[in-house]
Structure 1
Amino acid sequence: MLPIVFATSAWAFLICSFAGYATKRISRLHYNALLVISNTLFGIGYALSGRSFAVCVHAALAAFSAWMWWHDGGGDGTKRRLKKWASRFQGVRRTAPSHA
């Protein structure tokens, strides 16, 4: 029963993303985000039903859609936070004292 719920919700996300992108109501950024959600739900549903090849295919599709989302500017806030955090990092050399 649970795989059917995941598959149904994945189909809903997939159809909505296709329809929204085809009618130009959502941008490519949001289209790719919806595809990530859809492929992840498909993967979970197939994992629960024991279809390992389909899980691999949908995991690869979700990873590719996430990569497209990230490179279209979807992770700009995350990139800014990571750069801000990295700029505050000060490396400290920790070596043992050399007493001779």
Structure 2
Amino acid sequence: MTALILGSASWGVIVCAVACGITGRVPTALGLFAVAYAIGAVGHMVNGSLVGASWDAGFAAVFAWLWWNRGGGDGTRRRLRRWARTFRGVRRTAPAGGAA
């Protein structure tokens, strides 16, 4: 039953992604395809189909990569860079002149 619900959700997201692609929102469509295939992969894992899960996970990775490189990840990149600026390097080794 869970696999059926996840499969239906996956197809619903695919329909939304196709609608985005038709209206010219290609980066959004690529991101939605990545989400849909990730949901499908989880559904296949629940169902016990490793081949289907691997297939959907591969497509999810490809669509996520396309989304990231075609401008869909610009806001995400900006947020990650802002978050990364808050970190400072910390020395993790003992000082060179320390007692042995």
TM over 0.5: yes
| Percentage identity across paired residues of the two chains | 31
TM-score normalized by structure 2? 0.80
Distance 1:85 1:8, change over 3 A: closer
3-state SS, counterpart of residue 98 of structure 1: coil
Q: Identify which range, 57-66 or 90-99, moves more after superposition.
A: 90-99
Segments ≥4 residues shifted beyond 2 Å: 81-97
| Residue 14, structure 1, aligned to residue 22, structure 2 | no
Corresponding residue of 1:96 = 95
- Alignment gaps of 5+ in structure 2: none
Corresponding residue of 1:31 = 29
Please tell me the residue identity of whatever aligns with 1:41.
I
Corresponding residue of 2:77 = 79
- Alignment gaps of 5+ in structure 1: none
Q: Tell me how far apart the structure 2 counterparts of residues 92 and 4 of structure 1 sit (CA, whole Å).
A: 49
3-state SS, counterpart of residue 64 of structure 1: helix
Distance 1:7 1:89, change over 3 A: closer
Q: Tell me how far apart the structure 2 counterparts of residues 2 and 80 of structure 1 sit (CA, whole Å).
A: 36
Q: Deviations over 1:63-91 (max 9, x none)?
A: 11111111122222222233334445544
Please tell me the residue identity of whatever aligns with 2:82.
K
Aligned positions of 1:36-75 closer than 5 A = 36-75=34-73
Q: Tell me how far apart the structure 2 counterparts of residues 2 and 36 of structure 1 sit (CA, whole Å).
A: 20
CA deviation after TM superposition for structure 1 residue 96, in Å: 2.2
3-state SS, counterpart of residue 96 of structure 1: coil
TM-score normalized by structure 1? 0.80
